[in-house]
Amino acid sequence: MPPIVKALTRFITMCMLCSVLPAAAQDQSRELPLDKIKLPPGFSIEVWAEAPNARGLTMGKNGTVFAGSMAEGKVYAITETGGARQVKTIANGLNLPVGVAFHDGSLYVSAVSRILRFDDIEQKLDQPGKPHVVTTRFPSEKHHGGRYIRFGPDDLLYVAVGAPCNACERDPDEFSLISRIKPDGTDYEAFAHGVRNSLGFDWHPETKELWFTDNGRDWMGDNIPPDELNRAPRKGMHFGYPYCHGDDILDPKYGAKRDCRKLVPPVAKFGAHVAALGMRFYRGKMFPSEYRNSIFVAEHGSWNRRNKTGYRLNLVRVKNNKVVKQEVFAEGWLEKENNWGRPVDVLVMPDGALLVSDDYAGVIYRISYKKP
């Protein structure tokens, strides 16, 4: 084949690859415009690690940060030695391993119908081996099948199971809920019902009550229903879906079946379609004291709203176990109608800094504070 033909063939092949890769994956070496991120005085942001399609975050006992993903079914482990970071892929080809949780030396990973466990993982990062299958009892539907997981203060593994649809009625003990199991996969029970799709939850540092985000349904308009922040102080509460949205917005198909007044309203409402995902109470000491026990919420951003919204970090201030204020903490990933990043999950580090995963830019950020 003549050289000119070979060159042309390579060029066409590269163009074809660029056309199918996500925009953020086409040039991993590009510099992200972090100077466009607006933060309160004293705060700064940097790229902490590159991790394509990073989603859920958790930390091991020895300081390893683990990140789930949806790209090629990968799970990452990020270690730091002497200020130098190394990103290792410890699993590949899993089925939507969005959620990660650490417990007693083992990494738990969600994979739609399965929960997997990598034992003694921090000692085996170079050769983690095949994971142990903890359970296969979760639904296999992939619609809202990326399951967020975390261990609670009761040492039980909480697993969110979203609705397999936009709006539908399915078995209330299988879908649209937050469940919990023992670390060995036994004793499944539904903890919170009427939850359309939660991809973030945490426990209040003082009351130990479960708080969680929930994504509102689509196709009711640009401005309704809101995404939600909910509080579940006990087992068995119903948070509305698919009958009621927000405080009292009736679902056009299912709203007549339940009385909204008998269902649990959110403790805070976010903008419609902002896609409120990961959340954490701030327990660190680096940030000013007024941030203590407030909630950082990652708003992934809308996908079908006429004018985009979200693409930022929201701060929910909590006092006496009640929401007293909301404010934007970090924004700039969205410029007019173009976004270059999408925050997914947040994690408070031992030094008090805040890690933020971004599945669109393919990185994990570190937000730190230094008194101006």
Q: Walk along the chain (372 residues) and give the pLDDT tens digit of each residue.
A: 444 433 333 333 333 333 223 334 334 445 899 999 999 999 999 999 999 999 999 999 999 999 999 878 999 999 998 878 999 999 999 999 999 999 999 999 999 999 999 999 999 999 999 999 999 999 999 999 999 999 999 999 999 999 999 999 999 999 999 999 999 999 999 999 999 999 999 999 999 999 999 999 999 999 999 999 999 999 999 999 999 999 999 999 999 999 999 999 999 999 999 999 999 999 999 999 999 999 999 999 999 999 999 999 999 999 999 999 999 999 999 999 999 999 999 999 999 999 999 999 999 999 999 998
Give the span between the Cα atoms of 351 and 286, in whole angstroms. Answer: 7
> Is the bond leading into 242 cis (omega within 30 degrees of zero)?
yes
Closest C-alpha to 197, from 253, 141, 256:
141
Tokens matching residue 353: 């800094």
The owner of tokens 């700039």 is 332
CB 215 within 8 A of CB 195: no
